[in-house]
Structure 1
Amino acid sequence: MLWTITIACLLLAGLIFRQSFRNRNEAAEMAGEDAGLAIVEFGRAFPEEAIRAMISTANGRTVFLRLHDGKAGVMHAHGHHYTCHLIEPGAVRVAGAGPKRLSVQFSNASFEGGTFEFRDEKQAAEVSLWLLGSFMPGMAGPRPQIVGQPN
Structure 2
Amino acid sequence: MFWTIIIAGLFLAGLIFRQKFRSEDRQEEAGEDAGLAIVEFGRAFPEEAIRAVVTTRDRRTVFLRLHDGKAGCMQAHGHHYACHLIEPGTVRVSSAGPKRLAIQFANAAFEGGTYEFSDEKEAAEVSLWLLGSFMPGAANLNAQPAG
Provide TM-score, normalisation by structure 1. Answer: 0.75
Aligned equivalents of 1:105, 1:20: Cα separation in 2: 36
1:1-151 → structure 2 map (5 Å cutoff): 19=19, 22-23=22-23, 25-30=25-30, 32-137=31-136
Amino acid at match of 1:125: A
Aligned equivalents of 1:37, 1:101: Cα separation in 2: 24
In the TM superposition, what is the alpha-carbon distance from 1:18 to its structure 2 partner? Answer: 7.4
Aligned equivalents of 1:99, 1:130: Cα separation in 2: 17
Amino acid at match of 1:43: G
Please name the residue that 1:149 is paired with.
Answer: none
1:101-122, CA deviations, whole angstroms, 9 ceiling, x for partnerless residues?
A: 0000001112100000000001
Consecutive unaligned residues in structure 2, runs of 5 or more: 1-10, 138-147
Amino acid at match of 1:89: P
SS at the partner of 1:26?
Answer: helix
Consecutive unaligned residues in structure 1, runs of 5 or more: 1-11, 139-151
Aligned equivalents of 1:100, 1:18: Cα separation in 2: 34
Aligned equivalents of 1:27, 1:112: Cα separation in 2: 21
Amino acid at match of 1:27: Q
Distance 1:24 1:118, change over 3 A: closer
SS at the partner of 1:123?
Answer: helix
SS at the partner of 2:123?
Answer: helix
Structure 1 ranges of 4+ moved more than 2 A: 15-25
Name the count of aligned residue pairs.
128
RMSD: 2.4
% same residue: 76
Aligned equivalents of 1:92, 1:65: Cα separation in 2: 14
